[in-house]
A and B are shown apart, each in its own frame.
Chain A
């Protein structure tokens, strides 16, 4: 006597494949759902709180800071006298090195048409010192801001810059909104 139903090898293999396939589909769906719904976080600077103290340059664990200057072009006035490009009271408004505020010449200035000039950040040269951001904030529209670049940042558990930031401008934000751009006024987390 036996209640055991006989399953031949072919049926056993077919059933095993079906169960395996179902589990794989369900697992993939679950994993995808988890990835889509779970909120990962990255470190970022709130430009509305940043005071350009200079610590982003010196306190990042990387040899060259992951913090870079970012240009919000829709805020820029395209001025001839750019407070982010020129030293205060520069001798003349020319590209001569002695007139430039950036210590690494990481901002390129290009004439567009009278009276406009475009300012482009060369990210490879930027060390995140924030001098240009301070100049632009003090004398211009504030279109230059500091941001942590996530292709460089190693996303430490405890950000070394956040630890020393005097204005608490660095916090974790959702990875699906990894930048806080000043010109983006649809952004709701403004301080």
Chain B
């Protein structure tokens, strides 16, 4: 690891001030991606700003038909919630037990790993992301590989998930890392059927062709014959783009089967 200054932020204002006054600062939430990156010398910040001492940033609550998850809520805490079983089940399959005890939803979303699970939940459930300065629709949040709509120094404070009528998440996990090779969240919400896909592309996306088909007929067979364009999909030693394309349909069908069971 390169050297850096470890800075504890006492409040959101303090965190942003430290960030602004540094030539190169990075926030650390749970650190499940950042710390391995630092150890591999893939990151070399001057200042690492710890968000864990900020009061109230990890609270989870339910009101007005939505579950509000504080940015510092750990995956294990989301896994223990009951209002959106599909979200809890998704959180319970992130990484391993020790990772779920440290990793946070805010950190995961801000990092926007193409194989992370939460982005599929944000898109599939139509979540809203709140930051220290504004509100961002989940549909506008994921921009590209490891790139989000967050501005420089902006901090996610909470994520609001509207409670769906029914929802399910199916994931084909990498056996070693448990990251999603492909993961699909299918949800029937007040604003219609939504399908969020992670793992397949540079960042998570909605699949409107699936949404249209499932709006007409919420059954796995409704997805038969719908072409998934995999030309821009990720291709690596774990899976080719075409294989991921095939998995999108298979995982979506599994999610629909779970949701209608």
Q: Do A and B actually bind?
A: no
